[in-house]
Structure 1
Amino acid sequence: MVMANAEKKTLLHCLLYWEKKSPSAIYLTQPFGNGDVKNYTWQQVGDEVRRIANYIQTLNLPPKSNIALLGRNSAHWIMADLAIWMSGHVTVPLYPTLNAETAEYIFEHSEAKLLIVGKMDGKADGWKEIKTVIPQGLPVIAAPLSPPELSAQPQWNDIVSKTEPLKNPVLPELDDIATIVYTSGSTGKPKGVLHSFRTMIVITSGMEQIWGFTSNERMLSYLPLAHVAERAAVETMSLFFGFHIFFSEGLETFQKDLQRAQPTIFFSVPRLWTKFYLGVNEKLPPKKQKLLFNIPILNKIVKKKVLTQLGMNHVRVALTGSAPLPPQIIEWYRSLGLELLDVYGMSENFAYSHACKPGEVRVGYVGSVNPGVLQRIADNGEIQVKSPAQMIGYYKMPDKMAEEMTDDGYFKTGDRGEIDEKGRLRITGRVKELFKTSKGKYVAPVPIENKLNNHPKVEVVCVTGSGEPQPFALFMLSLDATKELANGQLDKETLTNEFKDLLKSVNSTLEDHEVLDYIVVVKDQWTMENGFLTPTMKIKRNIIEDRYLKHGEQWVAQKQKVIWE
């Protein structure tokens, strides 16, 4: 792979490059609530980063200390990351939705010497829990939009006004450690993935080849920056190519934030793509859409209007990842002129693995390898990947690294898959997720979950049944559906019948040993806070199975196709 030029050797070098080349161009746009929005130019970002870096250096932390960074996405998250690097240290991002137990583990395991807290409020994040486990005596910097409880701590804006800019930034070498990214911990304790400045920037030439990034792009950043996917797509790409990043204020203002950003590249997850789709269907019912889309002159006008109202009329690259989208939703977006491109990657390869190329999409596949990436399927069906962005190792876990890699340098993804004749990859489940029924037959839950996962009222599905005669499915309703049931807008009997029909149609596509015995609609919401979901919204199967499998016998005895817990 072609490496970045000398002026853009690392992401920190990139900041200095744009600060010099385009000082007055806007880099970051941050809403502060009540309609207050602030733009930060490259020069302003460079200035604040230098002042915070200088302040961090006055704390005399040991060289290359680990500094924790906690907050929802904001302009100051990216500035804090850059300031940590400029002061010669390593960034440890924490998911803003962590529960107390996981946050405590990361603080302790990473041996963080400083904590920078940004946008947190305890409503849309885990601040109420996380604040209880911040180690005593750990120095804190409170960035803008941080919780009021931190008012006695050193404030970012005060530091900026009282501290001189750092004259001689510490410029890293490519193989210096840049960050420790803790995995979402879907199978036990999170692991600290070590990434260097090289593994973070090496992805830029491949991304440019696939999507042709330029300095004219606009992106809205709202998926967690603590996760490698957003860090790669938003932070790395914007710093390297010099484009404009907008931030979202919150879910309530999301549509307004999108309209402000008018993104040219939009990266989202199936849950949100589905919400947009359902939102349009509410305002313009599918039957009416079909009618209007079939009228030659009118169809272009209507489609453009739909995209404009979504804030996506300028999007040229629309990316989706983390889980499959139902084919009919992909087709709907395609009919509007948006080709949703799947991407696939992991914390361990800085999300640089596979992507769907424009014009080469095969629905249900995550695309082919990115430039410089090698793939293969092991004898047990596991996908193995060798990426130029492969991690340096796991922090304080050398044995784990040996366990997760093959002797010839491939990373064992833990996912099972198959590759088609054009090299496109389909994920068919997790290697360790296969479970055995009491009849001794193995069941792969993910393909069945994907078939069930397109009912508009269902938020999350888990197929399970280890030790049971037949597998069964757990449905968690969306919050909207739960509210509609409670206030009588939604009829329980109608929903039960819809689920029966869904069960029947999915079962007709399955092998005998995979046929689902029944569906259970669970009464509780599965959240990141209560430990049922990872910070990347994946289900924690072991937690869910501990909670529900014990009821299998009594549910079988009920002989119902749909059971409400």
Structure 2
Amino acid sequence: MENFQTPLEAFYFWLEKNPDRIFLRQPIQRKFIEYSRKDAFDQAIRVAAALHKMGLKKGDHVALLSKNCAHWFMADLAMMLGGFVSVPLYPTLDSDSIHEILIHSESKAIIIGKLDDYKSQKKGIPEIPKIGVALYGVSEEFTWEDLVNNTSEFEPFNQNPEDLISIMYTSGTTGNPKGVMHKVKSFNLVAQNGLKSLEFKDESKFFSYLPLSHIAERIGIEMGAIYGGGTVSFPESLETFAEDLALVQPNTFFAVPRIWQKFQEGVLNKMSQKKLDKLLSIPIINALVKKKIKMKLGLGDAQFCASGAAPIAVSLQKWYRRIGVEIHQCYGMTEDCILSHFNLPGTNKFGAVGRPLPGVTSKLSAEGEILIKSDALMVGYYKSPDQTAEMFTEDGFLRTGDLGEFDHDGYLSIVGRIKDQFKTDKGKYVTPSLIELELSKNTDLEHICVVGTGISQPIVLIIPSEAGRAKGKEGLNSSILKSIDELNPHLKKHEKLEKAVIMKENWTVDNGLMTPSMKIRRNRIETIHQPMYLEWFSRPERVVYEST
């Protein structure tokens, strides 16, 4: 990877070197529409010019509401060329949340791309210029395609490393979303230090499906492709996801633990673990089986696979290693621009999130909180100086809110979140994340939340997986109790799980119980269900069903 000072400098390098190389591949009705770097630049520069004609000025904030698609990349490129500050919104937000963020961020215009339900979201957009992409069926006062066809090019602005590049609103696992401000130099530093450390190859194939409004996808995929001259493909829909991934066979693949579990379930639904073990034990067949499974998953060409956002079970990493897929656990957050701790190729340690990346200093506070310092830390929370001040120590370290431990080799492990800890009525604190991680080894469980405020022992709230539901009530109960009985002897007395509660309603992004980055919203789950803890705890059965 070349040395650049800004994302635009990197884009220009590849634009000049190979303008006709495909940059973006957008599937529409099962066919890919392809955009070269020259195509993307020509469209983006005209949209940037159009925004200036509408009266926007350098430094103004422009919002972007869209699922991952080619026009997300081109819209972000237009904002960089026009000197604007991008404000990406999660595509699943409801109208009230959209309105709140657009007003708070002082966005002067919005670009609307591929969405599932724009009709219900539209009422949240105030009276600002709206640019809709007709390709995705969005009809607005301004159309992306019309602006591209009817606007002349203009002289793009040069990016300054000290300029603000984006205000990224966090997904809010612990409260209301906050606008994290990052400078151009932060994105550049992560791309230069982080992506080089991961040994990203130039002109790689990428597959973009995790929310681009989240920092991991923004840096790992968007900046990865811009800095490395790569090609990015997108899934057409959730239903075609597996087919699209298998068609693309990306060189790099990021996923959250639940997706890695889903992939595993898919393999084991077609082939029992016993049969898989037998085939993997046969020398000649072994390689063929691995290759076939990886190709089916879409990981046949994957040179680097990573997991983040939540802890991944070591047992799951070991399972994937047996089929030839090495999963590297990584750790970072929006506030540190994910320049933090990664397991790197050749030095991967299961159960840890890696060592500090180049340019990162990390340490633990007296309470065990992970503290991070680098030149890529956020400027602060937009219009929230008090909340910003709370996030930093006197010596300039970022407070992550995570509890960690370093081993003798310098590898960091996450042991929980400070705010996730709860106290049972015995007065003892419980850190739920490590208990949940152990339980997640059971593929019959989709989502897990260990709670216990106001009762004498912790209980676990469970959403069963498809495999778990298929076992029926008796089989599922047996599976859950087996996991609890195997785990409890290894827990301290006040941590031992008393019983499990099977939830009636699934936890999803739509009902607000999961973040767009697939983390459970523990505080919301607690708010809804805490009044029932004592009743559930008092029932005689060890597995309680919420609906009964």
TM-score, normalising length: structure 1: 0.94
Equivalent residues in 2 for 1:514-553, closer than 5 Å: 514-553=495-534
Q: Is the 8 A contact 1:4 1:202 kept in 2?
A: no
The CA distance in 2 between the partners of 1:240 and 1:458, in whole Å, is: 39
1: CA distance between counterparts of 2:271 and 2:481? Answer: 27
Partners of 2:454 and 2:534 within 8 A in 1: no
CA deviations over 1:253-283 (Å, ceiling 9, x no partner)? 1122112222111111111111111111111
Alpha-carbon spacing, 1:331–1:481, altered in 2? closer, same or farther (3 Å): closer
State the shift of 1:490 in Å: 3.8
Q: Is 1:210 matched with 2:197?
A: yes
Structure 1 position 507, deviation (Å): 1.2
Out of 14, 21, 43, which is 2:17 matched to? 21
The question of whether the paired residues in 2 share the 8 Å contact of 1:183 and 1:191 is answered with: yes
1:314-463, aligned counterparts within 5 Å? 314-463=301-450
The one of 175, 179, 185 equivalent to 1:198 is 185
1:347-391 per-residue CA deviation (whole Å, 9 max, x = no partner) reads: 001111110122322221111111110110100110001123111
- Structure 1 partner of 2:485: 504
**Matched residues in 2 for 1:63 and 1:255: separation?**
41
1:390-416 superposed Cα distances (whole Å, 9 cap, x missing partner):
111111112222110111111000000
Tell me what 1:55 maps to.
50
Offset, 1:17: 2.2
Give secondary structure in 2 for the equivalent of 1:202. Answer: helix
SS in 2 for 1:86: helix
Deviation digits for residues 439-472 of structure 1 (CA, Å, limit 9, x no counterpart): 1111111111111123223221111111211111
Displacement, 1:523?
Answer: 0.1
Cα pair distance change 1:4/1:64, threshold 3 Å: farther
- Residue 287 of structure 1, CA deviation: 0.8
Name which of 133, 150, 159 aligns with 1:162.
150
Which one-letter code corresponds to 2:121 in the other structure? I
What's the offset of the Cα at 1:301? 1.2
Residue 142, structure 1, aligned to residue 138, structure 2 = no
Choose the corresponding residue for 2:288, options 290, 297, 301: 301
Contact kept, 8 Å, 2:132 with 2:140, in 1: the verdict is no
2:464 corresponding residue in structure 1: 477
Give % identity.
40
Consecutive unaligned residues of structure 2, counting only runs of 5 or more, are: none
Q: Name the amino acid aligned to 1:163.
A: T
Q: Which runs of 5+ in 1 are unaligned?
A: none
The separation in 1 between residues aligned to 2:42 and 2:272, in whole angstroms, is 51
Given that residues 531 and 540 in structure 1 are in contact (C-alpha distance below 8 angstroms), is that contact kept between their aligned partners in structure 2?
yes
Q: Residue 83 of structure 2 corresponds to which residue in structure 1?
A: 88
- Partners of 1:314 and 1:162 lie apart in 2 by 41
How far did residue 4 of structure 1 move?
7.2
Q: Alignment partner of 2:285: what SS?
A: helix
How far, CA to CA, are the matches of 1:357 and 1:12 in structure 2?
27
Larger CA deviation: 396-405 vs 419-428: 396-405
Contact 1:369 1:375 in 2 (8 A): yes
Greater shift, 432-441 or 526-535, is seen at 526-535
Q: Distance in 2 between matches of 1:155 and 1:205?
A: 35
Residue among 275, 285, 295 paired with 2:262? 275
Which segment drifts farther, 443-452 or 97-106? 97-106
Q: Do residues 98 (structure 1) and 86 (structure 2) align?
A: no
- Distance in structure 1 (CA, Å) of the matches to 2:440 and 2:277: 24
- How big is the shift at 1:238? 1.0
How far residue 129 of structure 1 moved from its aligned partner, in angstroms, is 4.2
SS state of the match for residue 474, structure 1?
strand
3-state SS in 1 of match to 2:110: strand
Q: Equivalents in 1 of 2:517, 2:8: separation in Å?
A: 27
Paired residue type of 1:142: G
SS at match of 1:508: helix
Which residue does 2:59 correspond to in 1?
64
Paired amino acid for 1:415: D
Shift of 1:508: 1.7
Kindly indicate whether the alpha-carbon contact (under 8 Å) linking 1:207 and 1:213 is maintained by their aligned counterparts in 2.
Answer: no
- Are the counterparts in 2 of residues 99 and 531 from structure 1 also a CA contact under 8 Å? no
How far is 1:62 from its partner?
4.2
Give how far 1:192 is off.
0.5
Q: CA RMSD in A?
A: 1.6
Q: How many residues get paired?
A: 546
Give the superposition deviation at 1:24.
1.1
1:87-134 deviation per Cα after TM superposition (whole angstroms, max 9, x unaligned) = 121100000112333222211110111010001022xxxx45422311
Q: SS at the partner of 2:107?
A: coil
Q: 2:123 aligns with which of 114, 128, 132?
A: 132
Give the whole-Å Cα distance in 1 for the aligned partners of 2:151 and 2:14. 23
Looking at structure 1, the residues matched to 435 and 119 of structure 2 have their Cα atoms a distance apart, in angstroms, of 37
Asked if structure 2 preserves the Cα contact closer than 8 Å seen for 1:350 and 1:390, the reply is yes
CA distance 1:390–1:315, shift in 2 (3 Å): same
Displacement of 1:191 in angstroms is 0.9
**In structure 1, what is the Cα distance between the partners aligned to 2:95 and 2:431?**
32
| Equivalent residues of 1:182, 1:191 under 8 A apart | yes
* Closer, same or farther: CA 145–350 of 1 in aligned 2, 3 Å: farther
CA distance in 1, matches of 2:495, 2:181: 39
Distance, in Å, in 2 between the alignment partners of 1:275 and 1:87 is 41
Q: Which amino acid aligns with 1:131?
A: K
The DSSP-based 3-state class of the residue aligned with 2:165 is strand
Match for 2:537: what amino acid?
V
What SS does the corresponding residue of 1:249 show, helix, strand or coil? coil
Moved over 3 A (4+): none
**CA–CA separation in structure 1 for the residues paired with 2:493 and 2:120:** 45
Contact 2:24–2:233 (CA under 8 A) maintained in structure 1? yes
Return the letter of the residue paired with 2:489. S
SS class of match (2:490): coil
CA shift in 2, pair 1:63/1:25, >3 Å: closer
